[in-house]
Structure 1
Amino acid sequence: MLRKSISIVLSLGFWAVGTAQAQENIGGNKTVVQSPVVHEDNAVTIRLAAKTQGEVYVIGNWMSGGKEKMLRDSLGLYYTTPSLSSDLYMYNLEMDGVVVNDPLNVYIVRDVANTFNYFLTKGAQADFYQIQDVPHGTVAKRWYDSPTLGMTRRMTVYTPAGYEQSEKALPVLYLLHGMGGDEEAWATLGRATQILDNMIAQGKVKPMIVVMPNGHVSNAAAPGESAKGQYPINFFTPDVGSGKMEESFMDIVQFVESNYRVKKEKSTRAIAGLSMGGSHTLFTSAYLNNHFDYVGLFSAAFRMNDKVQSPVFSNFEQNLAKQRDNGYKLYWIGMGKEDFLYKVGEDYRKRLDAIGMKYTYRESEGGHTWSNWRLYLTEFLPLLF
């Protein structure tokens, strides 16, 4: 009964507030309640224009686990965060045990099979993630043929401002997502395109093309974006740890180098990835051990399925030694102190130490989060090319 009452009241509340600013003039002028509101001290107020008597909670990624109850005032329900650091934050509401989005916040992002509202606080780091008044690059969804996999697949490609008007060839970064992600993850959750626009405009990063492929090779594209249709999203697809992404990676490189004006030397290619994409990065860069001068591992996993047989894995030690001997300009590793893969990363660094393979190590606060991965990208990009 409580759930039904909440549903009725919220429906009326959302109608009264939400339709006031629709393009079609339905419902007339109503009191406008804004959510969220970012204050000068980076505290943020989230509001819900509802008169329900049930408890409503905020679940946010700035919390150290759990949820926090919304309070009541004359406008309905509200919750104010403590002062937050400069970053992008995601949250949901919980009503009668059901997790929902904030109906007053139209800014929503998907992470694997869940959607979240988000907001950005003020300050230097979040400024990289905002859309600023600077020249903007182009973001394209490109379909490419993968002969190795026997399928046509989709990737996201960023080209910097001025690429279309120039004849200059550019270096390339291949940027890989984590488990459950797809070719949209870095551009949406990672704010990669905003970061690139802003840092290139500030002269902190050299203009480059950034290629964001889909690392789940059993899928042609992001959910709902292929002939597979609208299907339940699987976090752990059958291809995880199979070596097929690494084995087919040259299909991606060859498409890019055949269809974009890019430099084709080792010194002008970089590869980086987070979590599963970090695993793909370390194995791909060793497998193609004379192709990339810049390697970035963000909270990287290692072997994700030790039952699989593949030359990517069986020859890894020899490939890694060849990568060392062939030389490279940067092997960059970032890991959060509270990351559940911390020990995996520690063991991998010992493996590198044992063969005398030089690397740069960056340890940050926090865990296995987009907050860290966005941070790592802003620190990695200026070191390229």
Structure 2
Amino acid sequence: MKRLWCCLLVALSGVAPAQPADTPAPLSWPIELHADDRPAFPPPAAGWNRPRDAIAHGRLEMVDYDSRTVGTRRHMLVYTPPHYDPQRAYPVLYLLHGIGGDETEWQRFAAPEVLLDNLIADGRAVPMIVVMPNGRAQPDDRARGNVFATAPAFARFERDLLDDVIPAIEARFHTRTDREGRALAGLSMGGGQTLNFGLAHPDRFAWIGGFSSAPNTRAPAELLPDAEAAKQLRLLWLSCGSLDGLLRISQGVHARLQSLGVPHVWHVPAHGHDAAQWQEDLYHFAQQLFR
């Protein structure tokens, strides 16, 4: 039972415990690669994810907000870019975690503040605010106990995001408030949330990124009943590692988009369901935003 639980976490969590490489995850499927399941971008150059002393740095801070959806005061981690100017309206990326994570998960394993500092310093990313909320919309939102039992709270987060998180950010920081000034992305469970919420609300987000999306992703025909919503986007990004047992979920969405003639990025590098995949996703995705 203990090994089964570890495997379940590998399948859907942002933090993968060590296990033998040949141990299958029960919530995964056999991997069948297709001709177009390949990287859309080359691997990043050396040093891409290391802190650099000779550049300006942004700021990370924990921000509290009142959630009417949940009925509690909640927390989100916020990155503001170097030389943040409160008189300037910044675009915002809302970045969602996996089922085993919380508002600190992205910072703990992917250091988005380092990636963004480096990309902005090199002129490869637009200065932006990055918001990392807790996607578990329930009073006890800690990742403990049976995290799979909290799946309904991940669906409920749609209202918390739209009705509470975004208004709180726009009240506290000087942000753009148009759809083209908002991006939504996430990993695993957060990737499923991103596709479910973003494609349902193209009036709120123009840039969407699903990284290794988990089984909470709606079925392709339900997610995309027609091409209308997806064709309103400036960017629709789908990615998953070629060694990831959840690849078929993203493959299904990719096939549906192809059948509808919807432009999108399809990125399949040689990674598993792991932090290396998601850090590389963020590196490439951030460079496409708000241009």
TM-score using structure 2 length: 0.78
How far is 1:156 from its partner? 0.5
Aligned with 1:170 (options 84, 90, 95) = 90
Q: Which has the larger radius of gyration?
A: 1
Alignment of 1:199-278 (within 5 A): 199-218=119-138, 222=142, 232-240=144-152, 243-250=155-162, 251-278=164-191
> Distance between the aligned counterparts of 2:67 and 2:282, measured in 1?
27
Q: Of the candidates 51, 71, 75, which is equivalent to residue 131 of structure 1?
A: 51
Partner Cα distance (2:223, 2:250) in 1? 16
Q: Percentage identity across aligned positions?
A: 32
Q: CA distance change for structure 1 residues 317 and 130 in 2, over 3 Å: closer, same or farther? A: closer
The C-alpha deviation readout for 1:161-215, integer Å capped at 9, x for no partner, is: 111x452111000011111110001111111111111111111111000000011
Deviation at 1:218, TM superposition (A): 2.4
TM-score, length-scaled by structure 1: 0.60
1:377 maps onto 2:282 in alignment: yes
- For these two proteins, the number of residue pairs brought into alignment is 253
> Partner residue of 1:288?
201
Structure with greater proportional strand content: 1
Task: Give the number of the structure whose residues are more often helix, by fraction.
Answer: 2
Other-structure match for 1:180: 100
Cα distance, 1:317–1:372 mapped onto 2, change above 3 Å: closer
Q: How does 1:295-374 map to 2 (within 5 A)?
A: 295-303=208-216, 316-317=223-224, 321-324=227-230, 327-374=232-279
Q: 1:199 to 1:321 in 2, by over 3 A?
A: same
How far apart, CA to CA, are the structure 1 residues paired with 2:19 and 2:52? 24
- Does the C-alpha gap of structure 1 residues 62 and 380 become closer, same or farther in structure 2, counting only changes over 3 Å? farther
Residue 138 of structure 2 aligns to a residue whose secondary structure is: coil
Question: Residues of 2 paired with 1:220 and 1:142: CA distance?
Answer: 17
Distance change in 2, residues 1:365/1:154 (3 Å): same
Q: Distance in 1 between matches of 2:216 and 2:152?
A: 10
Structure 1, unmatched stretches of 5+, are 1-59, 67-122, 224-231, 307-312
CA distance in 1, matches of 2:170, 2:239: 29
In the alignment, which residue of structure 2 is the partner of 1:6?
Answer: none
Distance 1:185 1:242 in 2: 15
Give the CA deviation at 1:244: 0.4
Query: Is the Cα–Cα contact under 8 Å of residues 86 and 174 in structure 2 kept in the other structure?
Result: no
Distance (Å, rounded) in 2 between the aligned partners of 1:142 and 1:166: 16
Distance of aligned partners of 1:153 and 1:220 in 2 relative to their CA distance in 1, 3 Å threshold:
farther
Deviation readout 1:135-171 (Å, 9 max, x if unpaired): 11111111111112222211000001111x4521110
Distance in 2 separating the partners of 1:301 and 1:273: 10
Stretches of structure 2 lacking an aligned partner (at least 5 in a row): 1-16, 24-42
Whether the aligned pair in 1 keeps the contact of 2:180 and 2:206 (CA below 8 Å) is yes
Greater RCO structure (CA 8 Å; 6+ sep): 2
- The one-letter code sitting in structure 1 at the alignment partner of 2:183 is A
Query: Against the structure 1 CA distance between its residues 304 and 353, is the aligned structure 2 distance closer, same or farther, given a 3 Å change threshold?
Result: closer
1:108-139 deviation digits (Å, cap 9, x = unpaired): xxxxxxxxxxxxxxx96562322211211111
Q: Distance in 2 between matches of 1:298 and 1:242?
A: 16
Distance 2:154 2:71 in 1: 16
Is this contact kept in 2: 1:177–1:276, CA < 8 A?
yes
Q: Which residue of 2 aligns with 1:149?
A: 70
- Cα shift readout 1:211-241 (whole Å, capped 9, x = no counterpart): 0001112255556xxxxxxxx4543242357
